[in-house]
């Protein structure tokens, strides 16, 4: 794999440890940056903070609920980045949309009603919500079509839905890196086309 060539001018503020030994995120937006750039900054700020992959079900506060910042799954990277970078709370928005029109969402988990603790942490639900918001973009095999802040879904074999955030950094060939949690906590890696892409989404405006 080619060593990535970094192309970025802004710097995010990383989370720090509290006296209780937990992690507490600091603001990661950059003054003057657009919404997509702030999403990337707030995704990158999770690197070194979210160090574990943990899919366990947890009861969350609502709205604005989160699992412990040192853990989570791929969707938690997206939830945290949109919440901190653009003020978009996917927990609240997905729950409200599922409450209005539950029948339009996948029934993969045998649920009979929305669950605000977990619905926004499931990639198929996010794909449905993004499409209903008009954020869906055509899937492409051209690196240039993937802009910083785009949300990309794929299938990790054999059949695990996954979601990533397109970075503003590229490898030497110009292919964008992605920020995600695929098992070792939040990482920024050259893996955009490693798995079969199932969706590409661009946040057009705050809902």
Determine phi and psi for 134, rounding to 5 degrees: 80, 25
Please report the pLDDT score of residue 60 as a whole number. 98
Query: For residue 95, what is the enclosing H or E element?
Result: helix 90-100
The set of long-range contacts for 166-170, using a CB threshold of 8 Å and a minimum separation of 24, is 166/40, 166/192, 167/40, 167/43, 167/44, 168/7, 168/8, 168/37, 168/40, 169/4, 169/5, 169/6, 169/7, 169/8, 170/4, 170/5, 170/7, 170/143
Homologous superfamily of 16-201: endopeptidase domain like (from Nostoc punctiforme) (3.90.1720.10)
Q: Which backbone phi and psi does 77 adopt, to 5 degrees?
A: -60, -45
| 3-state class (DSSP) for residue 136 | strand
Concatenate the DSSP letters of all residues of 25-84 into one string: PPP---TT--HHHHHHHHHHTTTTT------------TTT----TT---HHHHHHHHHHH
**Hey, where are the domains in the chain?**
16-201
pLDDT > 90? residue 12 = no
pTM listed for this prediction: 0.88
Question: Measured between alpha carbons, how far is 136 from 195 in angstroms, rounded to an integer?
Answer: 19
**Over the stretch 153-204, which tens digit does the pLDDT of each residue have?**
999 999 999 999 999 999 999 999 999 999 999 999 999 999 999 999 999 8
Are 166 and 176 spatial neighbours (Cβ–Cβ below 8 Å)?
Answer: yes
How confident is the model over 74-108, as pLDDT tens digits? 999 999 999 999 999 999 999 999 999 999 999 99
Q: Give the per-residue pLDDT at 35.
A: 94
State the average pLDDT for the chain.
89
Tokens of 62: 């609502």
């Amino acid at each position: 794999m080619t060593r990535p060539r970094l192309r970025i001018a802004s710097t995010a503020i990383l989370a720090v440890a509290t006296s209780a030994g937990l992690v507490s995120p600091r603001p990661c937006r950059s003054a003057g940056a657009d919404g997509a750039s702030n999403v990337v900054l707030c995704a990158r700020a999770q690197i070194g903070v979210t160090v574990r992959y943990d899919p366990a079900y947890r009861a969350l506060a609502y709205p604005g609920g989160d699992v412990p910042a040192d853990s989570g799954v791929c969707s938690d990277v997206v939830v945290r980045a949109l919440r901190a970078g653009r003020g978009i709370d996917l927990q609240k928005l997905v729950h409200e949309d599922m409450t209005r029109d539950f029948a339009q969402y996948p029934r993969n988990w045998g649920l009979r009603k929305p669950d605000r603790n977990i619905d926004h942490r499931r990639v198929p639900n996010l794909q449905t919500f993004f499409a209903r918001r008009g954020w869906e973009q055509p899937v492409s095999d051209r690196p240039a079509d993937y802009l910083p802040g785009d949300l990309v879904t794929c299938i990790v074999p054999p059949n695990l839905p996954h979601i990533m955030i397109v970075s503003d950094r590229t490898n030497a060939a110009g292919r964008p890196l992605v920020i995600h949690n695929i098992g070792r906590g939040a990482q920024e890696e050259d893996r955009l086309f490693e798995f079969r892409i199932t969706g590409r989404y661009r946040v057009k405006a705050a809902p």
